Structure 1
Amino acid sequence: MLLLAAAPSAADQSSVQELQPMAEESFQTLLVEGTLSDLEQGCVEAAAFGLSDRQQQLRDRLLSVYPTPQTMDEVLSNARVLLTCRSPEGARMVLGRYLPGAGADRERWLRLSWQAADAALDHPRAARALRRLVNGDLLALEQLELIEAPGASAEPGEPVMVNGLDQLAHHEEAAGDRLAAAEVLLSGRSIGRMAARRLGRAAELLAEEDFDRADQLLELALDQAAADEAWGLAVDLLRVQLRLQLAAGGDGERPRQRLERLTARLDDQYSSWQLQDVGEPGPALRSPRDPGGHAAVDPLTDAPLP
């Protein structure tokens, strides 16, 4: 009876079998005879089992799966599967086989071109693709939600959505053009929490070149955070303002006082401790942004931001 109880059931055996990658013979057949969809599934399986050799063989096959010249649909499908197979450079090569005209084909091509450049960390190319996608209209870019290509080590799951305007600012900054990144952020028309974040980041990007403007932007950011009652974000912005003022040779007294008043209103002992800059925090202290912290508090409607 004990032996029977310990033996795996048929369902358990089936589950174990399902967790195994395909046999080598089947994989070699897939490389030769598999459709684009078959090759995509092979890429997903190879990534799931960490089979880098198989991934590379699949990438090589995907570069020649269609004879050239290809149709637009074939090019886009081929490039998309190469991105699934964690080969953004391969996707870029395939996309280069077809130059679309205007219209929907151009938009699809540019979205995939951005995905490939983003996944390859080719920030200048990614920025160009985004600007071309909206013909330079940053207000239109702010309305776009983009899907990131899966990263080299990403686990299967829900697609990652990013805002077009914020992504362009990220690429410009990563490419080394901090002023262009700030201009992109400042072109946004959102209000409240989103505007506060963008204004705050633009201030950090501009601080070295134009401290006075950066300080003014932080004041605007604080107004937006207060209007949205985003008090945890307001604390973060005041800390940025304090840091930038100290870096510029100031005493940081005003943002320090405002931080002290705001954190007192929020009962944010963690930030109060940081302002005192003494010792290590006790176990009862935590950041308001940490789980269980005070970033989400009851509305403070009795007065504007201190």
Structure 2
Amino acid sequence: MGQHTLLSAVFWAVTAFSASASTLFSTFPDAKYPEDKIVHFTPFNIITAVDGNKPSVMSVSGKLTKHSFSLPESYTLELVINNYLAQLKKLNAEIVFQCQQEACGDPYVLRDQLAPRISVESSYPSAYLVAKLTGTSGDVYSVIYAFHREDRYTKVQLVTLESIPEPLGLIEANPAFLQQAPKEVEIKDRHSEDVQGSADHPLLGRMPGSFISRYKQTSFTQVPVITGISAAGYQTLTLDAKVTLIRYRMPTQYSMYEISSNYTAAANKLAAESVFHCQGNACGDDAKLIKAMKLHQDTSKDEW
């Protein structure tokens, strides 16, 4: 049976290196499905030893370039790794760490250490190699990971991490912003979008920028008013009343906190007595809360 190998090779330059990861090694002649990815700056952990299932890790960071491709099934773990080893020897590389299959420890631990930059298939035999090279401006760490999938394919991932000082001058702060008063958020008036025949209730107005999407008046009915909540559910008081139901759609610039606070402030000006109040998780399940309101329930997707 032919063998299938998935190979991941990662390269980090501890300082700037004249060659990129894609030019440090040539691509295998039978490579297919190439993919490339560049990360401007990122930290990355490389494994330098494995004691049982516990790996020792060294952190490097810098510009990361990833090149990946697939190979035919005839490329075994040994063939791919040995090809890189031969080239690393020509570059006078120092082999920092090397392992294969069980010697690499728990494959799930290995997966967690290499993610998300390298994809590890924990179900298949794997190999891992770390080498240290010297570039014109500093050290280069070449990390090669490979896994073998029987009768399928070989995939190679080459990642170069060129270690550079973290680029922290990419944006500028504007001190003048701190010297100005907060600017009001512009809210567009939408009274013209009110549903036909609707109007604000004379007792309480609307938040600026909101419009009435539903309006209903009932001359006389019974209305359940929520007065409390407990593990047993909602407590309600049924009142005989004339009801005006107004549903407003609010501008997305408002937070729920701002809307609630403004209606509370308006009610306080009327010397209103608070019967019940809840916020967030304290209100319980949304669907059950709405059901307890009965006449006031609203199953539409409108913003409230």
Q: Normalized against structure 1, the TM-score is what?
A: 0.25
Bigger strand fraction: 2
Determine which structure has the larger helix proportion and give its number: 1
Q: Which has the larger radius of gyration?
A: 2
